[in-house]
Structure 1
Amino acid sequence: MNEQTPQLEPTLPPQPGRANASALIHDGAGAYLLHLRDEIPGIWEPGSWSLLGGGREPGDPSLEETVRRELREEAGLDIPGLVPFTVEEARTSDGTVVPIQIFAGQWTGDPASLPLTEGVMLHWFRPDVMPRLRMAPSTLDLVRRHAATNPTAHRTPRPCPRPARVATAGGSAVLNGVGVHLYLENADGKVLLGLRHPDSAYAGSTWHFLAGRCEQESALACLVREAWEEAGLMIEPGDVELNHVIHLLDAPGGQPMMQMIFRARQWSGTPEVREPDKCTGWGWWHPDELPAPMVAYTRAAIHGIRAGRLYTERGWS
């Protein structure tokens, strides 16, 4: 949407004479295409994720032509199967209420290949990830309503994890979580680190390993999956070895974590930002010149690896 795009407020009555159109683009498998707006003071929702679209111009014969023109101008997109989904009502900065026609359409291309002319980037997101993004609540609600009409697109956001307990003969025991981390060194002896998104639930605006929590999968399978999903790196399990383990307690009463750091002897691909809601950039850093701020246990793991240690504890004393 352009900088005059209003925030959705569906309870307000529309005024005649002005109208906007936006595109709710999905891939048919549960992901939606969002547009990261410029961080420019004075525009609506600067630095937020939104839909592509904009205001109707005098030469647009219909709102469908408006949204098609905006898609072409902003991203070089042509989606033949656009269909009306709903009409929202919004208020502009001057208090005028404007109807917004929302069109839905399916597309399965690579957003990085599009010639974006406005904003920062386009990216696919599933609805369960969107609560972690900076975006208008009305946009999130709109996506969820559309996702509810498509079972493959709807995912209920998972609650924040809490320490799980299991019954034992002596009462109960706290289950530890398992995290995997990728340790890569290039030919210059520099280590790959990622700068986490400012709005990340964990360690925002802080440098960290490429990492993830194990789901219903082995640690190696999780590592290979995360490397591809987060950075576009292809790693063979046979090229990986366990380099270090940190038994971590971040806070009293929190879930203890067994953080496993795996080193890949070889890989293919160049690190790229594929999940911008988690990481805003990758960089190679010499172990003697690590960036700040940096996740404390990441720094401890690098020091432990250089010293030849296999195990570190943090947060238990």
Structure 2
Amino acid sequence: MTRIDDTGHPARPATRTPGTEPPTLVVGVHLVLLDEGLVLLGWRRNTSYANGLWHVPAGHMEPGETVTRSMTREAEEELGILIAEHDLTLVHTLHHLDADDGRSRLQLFFRPARYDGRVRNAEPHKCGELRWWPLDGLPSNTVPYTAHALGEIVRGGTLSTVGWPA
């Protein structure tokens, strides 16, 4: 016999423990600038995460922003370039379980169709150097999930996971 709830609809079994909240995801945005088989990476310094490692220009969504606005803001802040939101293409989504803090993170990798301005290191206090690297020759001290995502992008993979138990 089907139980009816107080709204007159069939009752649904509980899918989570009462009083628990759904998981909160941290959303990261990453810019994949490519030029003839080379990708732009920045060497992180004076940062709380991945200090001394190479990483694509990246940041986090801020409250009230769309993911595309977050990416255009980060591109302007870090590289001094302007990108129209409609010129961004999502090229990879990575669901990452961070071993350092145990948080679930959704890492979105965007490639711009075009941008205005000249790429420059607009945050030298956080980035020691910008350099173009061959996609098949990334430095050994690249942020591991970044190296993974770039490899997936080269292979045409649009979705992957890292850090989750098998």
Task: Give the TM bin, normalised by the shorter chain.
Answer: 0.7 to 0.9
Q: Which residue of 2 aligns with 1:263?
A: 111
Q: Which residue of 1 aligns with 2:70?
A: 222
Give the Cα separation in 1 of the matches to 2:101 and 2:144. 19
The correspondence of residues 244-259 of structure 1 with structure 2, limited to 5 A, is 244-251=92-99, 254-259=102-107
Tell which structure's C-alpha radius of gyration is larger: 1
Structure 2 unaligned segments of length 5 or more: list them: 1-15
> How many residue pairs get matched?
149
Give the Cα separation in 2 of the matches to 1:253 and 1:293. 20
CA distance 1:292–1:269, change in 2 (3 Å): farther
Shift of residue 174, structure 1, vs aligned partner:
2.4
Shift of residue 171, structure 1, vs aligned partner:
2.2
CA distance 1:286–1:316, change in 2 (3 Å): same
Structure 1 residue 201 corresponds to structure 2 residue 48: yes
Q: Which residue of 2 aligns with 1:237?
A: 85
Structure 1 residue 212 corresponds to structure 2 residue 59: yes
Please give the secondary structure, in 1, of the residue aligned with 2:34.
coil
The correspondence of residues 131-150 of structure 1 with structure 2, limited to 5 A, is none
Q: Is the 8 A contact 1:272 1:281 kept in 2?
A: no
Give the Cα separation in 2 of the matches to 1:265 and 1:291. 26
Could you tell me which amino acid in structure 1 is paired with residue 56 of structure 2?
A: F
CA RMSD of aligned residues (A): 1.7
Q: Which of 144, 153, 159 in structure 2 is aligned with 1:305?
A: 153
Give the Cα separation in 2 of the matches to 1:247 and 1:287. 21
Q: Percent identity?
A: 39
Q: Is the 8 A contact 1:271 1:282 kept in 2?
A: no
The correspondence of residues 1-317 of structure 1 with structure 2, limited to 5 A, is 169=18, 171-186=20-35, 188-197=36-45, 199-216=46-63, 217-251=65-99, 254-317=102-165
Give the Cα separation in 2 of the matches to 1:283 and 1:252. 27
Q: Give the 4+ runs in structure 1 shifted more than 6 A.
A: none
Shift of residue 288, structure 1, vs aligned partner:
0.9
Shift of residue 292, structure 1, vs aligned partner:
2.5
TM-score, normalised to structure 1, is: 0.45
Q: Which has the higher contact order (CA 8 A, sep 6+)?
A: 2
Structure 1 unaligned segments of length 5 or more: list them: 1-166
Give the Cα separation in 2 of the matches to 1:169 and 1:252. 29
Give the Cα separation in 1 of the matches to 2:153 and 2:61. 22
